[in-house]
Structure 1
Amino acid sequence: MRIIMLLLAPLRSADTYLRWVYLVLGGVLLVPFLLAALVVASLLVDQDANSEAVYGPPGAAALAVAAVLGAATVGIPGVRTQQAQLSRSLLGGRLAAEPDTRSAAGSSRTRAGCWLALHFVVGFGTSLLTMIGLTESAILAMTPITGGASGTMLLGDVLFSGWRRWLGPLAGAGLLVALVYTVAAVGGGAARLAPLFLGPSAADRLAAAQARADHLTERNRLAAELHDSIGHVLSVVALQAGTATRVIDRDPDFARTALEAIAEQARTATAELDHVLGALREEPAAAAPQRTLDDLASLVDAARFAGADLRFDQTGALGSVPGVLSRELYRLCQEAITNALRHGGADTTITMELHVEQARVRLSVRNPVPVRRPARPGGGRGVRSMDERVRLLGGAMEAGMRDGEWCLTVTIPWKGDG
């Protein structure tokens, strides 16, 4: 049964008939060029010669000239694009899965022109075969009615006498099936050859891979920015709101201060979100809020307003840190505080040390983790984001549990001034 299904597959597959249409279109598009070439060939052939001379070697030459003229149209703007789209839609196969490139290289135009010439010639042959095959099948199918009065080009009058005329419909059906299998084979071959002519070149593939890598890198960067900034703000807001709710009756002044801090954090989150959305829309005017170590005091104050006991120790001149490193260190501090608040609670104790040395910058953050909320081995998405930032800067990071505390240590080398 499986063998029978495989044998019938070309008859039942939609690809067979779509490719048939594609091949016939090639023959149709060749006709104007072929007619023009035949007219020229008839003018060059001796008028007293037999008309078969025009359709002999001169006719073959006219077919070749017509294919070359048709292939030359690939230089017309839009022809190559439409050719590729038509081939992808009707031929299918591996070409449909290839990346759609718009290479302007001369080799790509040459390959496209060769494919167009091949499409025209094979399509013209398929069109003739289709016309003859369908006509012969129809004549054979009508032999019981016509009595075999009209012979066929392929079989002559061999079936058109006596009782044998009743075999005509069966022969017509067989001829039609053979035609479908032939066209399926030609169309399948065209689908396998098309990627060689219309598919991307090695240079196109490298360019597409690089563009894809750049796109993914930018998306990952935006995802990290969104996670670090908005995630931190939401964590702080949640903790401040919870603290304000608990003390609003006995300490309304503190609750008012917490609510003001929530409003400020919300404005910060709005600015960050506007930047990310602008970057996703590829708006050139979308400018990122460039927060650096100069904004570290506000970050520490926000954590303290949330109720955390944040002990911050800093040595060295923060202003001497280069801009890129300063921005990344701010994000690292922000994510470390966010993780401490998220896992340790609003009343957690956070110890953060930042030391700017001559040859390196060292960041250390520690906070106790309650037994009821064990830390995940290796950290989550935030820890992975921090590790990626540190590795891009050429530094090293260690994170994990140590004596009941979650400890984060970052060391980033840099060239100081003194």
Structure 2
Amino acid sequence: MGILRAAAAPLVSARTYTRWVYLVLGGALFTPFFIAVFVLMSLVTPWGPTPGSDQSGLGGEGYIGTAVAALLGGATGFIPGVHAAQSQVARSLLGGPLADEPRLAGADWRTRVRGACWLALLFAVGLGVCLATMVVLTDAASLALIPLFGSAPDLGQRIILVDWSPSGAERWAAPFAGAGLLVLFVYAVALLGAGASRLARPFLGASAADRLAAVRARAADLGERNRLAAELHDSIGHALSVVALQAGAASRVIERDPEFARGALEAIADQARTATAELDHVLGLLREKAPGDRAPQRALADVPHLVEAARTAGTEAEYTARGPVGEVPPVVSRELYRICQEGVTNALRHGAGGPVRVRVDAADGRVRVEVVNPCAGRRPRRRGGGRGLEGARERVRLLGGELRAGAEDGVWRLEADIPWKSGR
């Protein structure tokens, strides 16, 4: 049963017939070039085909004319847009390995040469498939009509059947012979189409440079996704941590200290507005809006507001700065703000309740940030946690700096050191 299914697969597979259509389309597109070349040959050469010549075969001059016409047709592959169009058609109708290749944003001259060679080959093979299709369909129809006419109808010159006038029961076998002829032709087309689908990849597929460009584009896309994930983690995570602390504090003292509870609720509202602005910024990046429409990103100049929010949450916090903090390049300033935010967020979540100290030092061609807070021994690692510090290390590494984080003598310290006056 499995053998029969495998044998019948080419006959019932839609891919067989789409590949057949692809080859026939190649022959149909080749026809104007083919006719033009043979007309010119008949005008300018004494050995071109003439009305009285034998048309049963092409002959030597016919093969030369076909080759010239195929080369002329293949040259159209250098026209802008032709390579992309034929690659798309081949992907859709041939399938196979080419369908898994990355789509090219553009085509250089090497890619167009390969495409032109494929087009010339397709035209020549497609012409043969077109002729074979006409002959086989004609002869299969002739055999199917023998029981009605007693002999094969005169449908012009036939290659496979010349003259067959069966009598008696032989006439009823003719339609089966025609069906068998058609089945054999479908198998031949399936084999030819399978070969074409495998050959298409070297001619129309991506080159090594194209694959490298696709990998780089994919890496850039993944890098952007990771950056947006880090933006969400740092900004929204910090705001939610402050909101949770403020809400817990307000619920505990709302009856005996309404003034403190009111201040906590105001801080929650302020953090909610900040989180909304940050979320709008990230969504703007995802929508690929114009830069002018995006919310401004926070920088080192906003660290005092970060510390003030920690104070509002009921945590003792202080901020010190030294050097020209405002002259730090924007890209470095933004990333260091996020690192300070990560340090303050961790202090609010896991600290031992002592003071949080944030220091920024922009002297000597380098900028250093430090967030220090007391901690109760070594922190237990949370399930699924640690993404914030991992993201901070990655950002600092990309900027050529170094990040250190850890607990020592009951103090948790987060330090980042980045050069910024060396062309960065």
In structure 1, the residue matched to 2:32 is 32
2:60 is the alignment partner of 1:57: yes
In structure 2, the residue matched to 1:279 is 285
C-alpha separation in 2, matches of 1:164 and 1:378: 80
User: What runs of 5+ residues in structure 1 fail to find an aligned partner?
Assistant: none
CA contact (8 A) 1:293 1:318 kept: no
Give the 3-state SS of the residue equivalent to 1:249 in structure 2. Answer: coil
C-alpha separation in 2, matches of 1:416 and 1:36: 69
Amino acid at match of 1:232: H
CA contact (8 A) 2:140 2:179 kept: yes
Deviation at residue 104 of structure 1 after TM alignment: 3.7
In structure 2, the residue matched to 1:294 is 301
Amino acid at match of 2:21: V
Deviation at residue 362 of structure 1 after TM alignment: 6.0
In structure 1, the residue matched to 2:142 is 139
In structure 2, the residue matched to 1:231 is 237
CA contact (8 A) 1:236 1:303 kept: yes
Q: 1:144 to 1:269 in 2, by over 3 A?
A: same
2:188 is the alignment partner of 1:185: no
Deviation at residue 17 of structure 1 after TM alignment: 0.6
The TM-score with structure 2 as length reference comes to 0.84
In structure 2, the residue matched to 1:70 is 73
CA contact (8 A) 1:23 1:123 kept: yes
C-alpha separation in 2, matches of 1:36 and 1:396: 71
User: What runs of 5+ residues in structure 2 fail to find an aligned partner?
Assistant: none
In structure 2, the residue matched to 1:383 is 389
1:182-219 deviation line (CA, Å, top 9, x unaligned): 10111111111111111122222222222222222222
C-alpha separation in 1, matches of 2:51 and 2:136: 31
Give the 3-state SS of the residue equivalent to 2:292 in structure 1. Answer: coil
Question: What is the root-mean-square deviation of aligned Cα atoms in Å?
Answer: 3.4
1:51-72 deviation line (CA, Å, top 9, x unaligned): 2389433333332232223223
The answer to which of 153-162 and 238-247 deviates more is 153-162
The answer to which of 226-235 and 315-324 deviates more is 315-324
In structure 2, the residue matched to 1:305 is 312
CA contact (8 A) 1:395 1:410 kept: no
1:263-291 deviation line (CA, Å, top 9, x unaligned): 33233233323332232233232456343
Give the 3-state SS of the residue equivalent to 1:291 in structure 2. Answer: coil
C-alpha separation in 2, matches of 1:406 and 1:125: 82
Deviation at residue 92 of structure 1 after TM alignment: 1.0
**Residue from 93, 100, 113 that aligns with 2:103:** 100
In structure 2, the residue matched to 1:208 is 214
In structure 1, the residue matched to 2:126 is 123
CA contact (8 A) 1:378 1:400 kept: no
In structure 2, the residue matched to 1:109 is 112
Identical-residue share of aligned pairs (%): 54
**Residue from 230, 246, 268 that aligns with 1:240:** 246
Deviation at residue 154 of structure 1 after TM alignment: 1.6
In structure 2, the residue matched to 1:333 is 340
Deviation at residue 180 of structure 1 after TM alignment: 0.6
Deviation at residue 313 of structure 1 after TM alignment: 6.9
Deviation at residue 141 of structure 1 after TM alignment: 2.7
Kindly tell me the number of residue pairs found equivalent between the two proteins: 412
Q: 1:256 to 1:176 in 2, by over 3 A?
A: same
Q: 1:138 to 1:310 in 2, by over 3 A?
A: farther
Deviation at residue 159 of structure 1 after TM alignment: 7.6
The answer to which of 274-283 and 54-63 deviates more is 54-63
CA contact (8 A) 1:92 1:191 kept: yes
C-alpha separation in 1, matches of 2:355 and 2:178: 89
